[in-house]
Structure 1
Amino acid sequence: MLTLEYSDVKSLRFYNEIKNKISGCIDKYNGSIVSPEEIKEIILANPEDLINLNNQLIVQVIEDFDQNEFETYLKLNKKSRAQNSKYHNKIKEINEVLNYARIVGSDYFLADLLNQATCIHCNRNYTITIGNKNSKIVRPEYDHWFSKSKYPLLSISFYNLIPSCSSCNKKRSNKNFQLDTHLNPYKMTDDEKKFSFSFRKTNFIENNVILKINSKEDISKQKIENHFRDLCLNEIYNKHSNLELRDLLDLRYKYSENYIDLLINTLKNNLSKEEVYRLVFGIEINEIDFHKRPLSKFKKDIINELLNIK
């Protein structure tokens, strides 16, 4: 899991880009869904405010709204949902006004604005944006950190759209992530960042990737464990055991005892430490730059451990 930085400038640019796509639909329902002022608040709100904002506004839109009853409604098939006018018609109206596919899903503006080169969840797959809205080639998918079906008013909120690879977005699906149960890229504390990748030998030639959690707080440990479990990140990284991990171990064990250290220090005479790691290992070593190269966090952790082995 990588981090994202808050940006009032980017969120406001995002709002200004999409507001005209929403205004006509708001007028169609004469403000019976949400007002323009409320729309702006929904789009710009920080992650810690989004659920409360959704809950405050949804009861204005749907009379006698009950969250448990609504979640039962979501489990119904399409035909059964259509017979439930209390939720069905109003949710259709909300989805028309805040239509993710029309407003965000087919556009490249947000991808350019966020400018994240790899998946925030796994840091394994590139999510580089190529093309634009007129010449579409590839861009990241957006994981709705708070499910857009469970929280329909948050479907186009800036801080609810996490740039992800297709694999992680599909794995996420409608799993119920909350701020007190999972890692949020905008809200990660220092204690929630205290995890690292390591390895253990399974037999003479094979090794497994393992996750080390060094957080002091139990809630931080649980969030990390939940996040890796629900996105199957342990399994995903273990698939790299015979690829990137083996290459790094070969450097350490098949050459001189301090080969990696020697290689780095020799090149550092002419290059910066960042340039050395980029040239030799194809990774970034500063947290803020992890997203620029796949597996940067993983490889940096493994290399640091290998350098400490005597």
Structure 2
Amino acid sequence: MIAINQDLVFFAYKNHKTEIDHFIHSTEKKIKSFRAKPTRTLKKKKVALLLTPLQEDYLDYLSANFKDIILGTPDDLLKFATHFETIIKAVDLGKESKPYIHRVFRDRLLCIMGYNSQRNKFYSKYFQGLGIKACVYCNSQLTISVKRQGLKNKALYQVDHYYPKSYYPCFSVSFFNLYPTCANCNLSKSNKPLKFVLYSNNPLLFSKSVFQFSISQISITNYRVNFEKEKLEIEFKGGNSKEMNKIFAVEQIYNTQKDVAEEILLKSIIYNDTYKRSLEKSFSKLYNKKDLNVQRLILGNYTLDTEIHNRPMSKFMMDIAKQLKLI
């Protein structure tokens, strides 16, 4: 629900430079090998695959620009996407595309690019380093899903591809193309286009969210009379909220969280300014910690727009608390 500074991705690259550079080098070699001797797996056997001239051009361009594609900014990816489109149109690589030969090529290339391997081995520590724990689309759930591996369960990051990997296998492991999401939002978005920027170099986009949650004023008034939380009406507005509601049902999701809204409403009555000052005075050593403040402890969640990726429902709770002047 808010962009992050794209410099954080470059910092993460520096922190994992050896591992990432090894992945880039080894994957580039695999692409060149596939270009020289294309094969596919059929009935557990490798069989020769005949590439079309366009597919050869696609691999040549990918190989020649591979590191820049993996580390390319959103602006870079747009330029690369435009060029890839001149070679093979994205829709021709899609799940229902024709001719069939392009789908076979896409699936083999996706396997070579190694997204599943990276998700299993690398993305957990990478996204933790970026500080993204909550779904970037709905902010209501963690970006973690559980996958069975052998006899054990493993917690893995759920990742949406801004440029769908079924249309753009070339970007399947490009860092700026990876959006951590919950499983529901990932499934809901699928291959749909969405006007949402996660990585940006524009401070206006990563300093304050364009989206806003609120409780309708009429339902607040009614609650204070009859205390019926089910009649509280949650609203979600700002930015492209209509599109977000259409794809992810954001407003509907949060209208199931009326108990949380009610708790914030009650806190706004109980925690008046005098009471908050007394708490701060009584526990001054605790409240002077750099990573804590009175507002965060009272709300039970993060209270700054720039922190909403840290924990689910932080945006919702923060906006309602500000509306009610709790924080």
TM-score norm. by structure 1 comes to 0.76
Secondary structure of 1:162 counterpart: strand
Question: 2:111 & 2:127 partners in 1: Cα distance?
Answer: 25
Moved over 6 A (4+): 133-136
Please tell me whether residue 26 in structure 1 is matched to residue 31 in structure 2. yes
**Aligned-residue identity in percent:** 22
2:197 matched to 1:184? yes
- Superimposed CA distance per residue, residues 25-53 of structure 1 (whole angstroms, 9 cap, x where no aligned partner): 22322464145441111111111221320
Distance (whole Å) between structure 2 residues aligned to residue 262 and residue 17 of structure 1: 58
Q: Distance in 2 between matches of 1:293 and 1:265?
A: 26
Structure 2 CA distance for aligned equivalents of residues 90 and 58 of structure 1: 15
CA deviation profile, 1:259-303 (whole Å, cap 9, x unmatched): 343343322331149422332221112233222232222111111
Check if 1:2 corresponds to 2:2.
yes
Matched, 1:264 2:269: no
Distance 1:174 1:229 in 2: 14
The structure-2 alpha-carbon separation of the partners of 1:20 and 1:287, relative to structure 1 and needing over 3 Å to count, comes to same
Residue 307 (structure 2) aligns with = 289
| Contact 1:183-1:224 at 8 Å conserved across structures | no
C-alpha distance 91-59 of structure 1, shift in aligned 2 (>3 A):
farther
Matches within 5 A, 1:157-306: 157-177=174-194, 182-187=195-200, 190=204, 193-200=209-216, 201-202=218-219, 204=226, 205=228, 206-213=231-238, 221=239, 223-241=240-258, 243-253=259-269, 255=270, 259-269=271-281, 270=284, 271-272=287-288, 274-306=292-324
Q: Which moved more, 1:19-28 or 1:46-55?
A: 19-28
For the residues of structure 1 that align with 2:104 and 2:326, how far apart are their CA atoms?
62
Instruction: Determine the structure 1 residue equivalent to 2:96.
Output: 75
In 1, the alpha carbon distance for the partners of 2:274 and 2:142 equals 31
* Amino acid in the other structure paired with 1:174: N
Q: Which runs of 5+ in 2 are unaligned?
A: 37-55
1:100 equivalent among 111, 115, 120: 115
Count of equivalent residues: 277
TM-score by length of 2: 0.72
Segments of structure 1 that go 5 or more residues without pairing to the other structure are: 214-220
Q: Tell me how far 1:234 sits from its aligned partner.
A: 1.1
CA distance in 2, matches of 1:59, 1:26: 20
Cα distance in 1 for partners of 2:310, 2:90 equals: 40
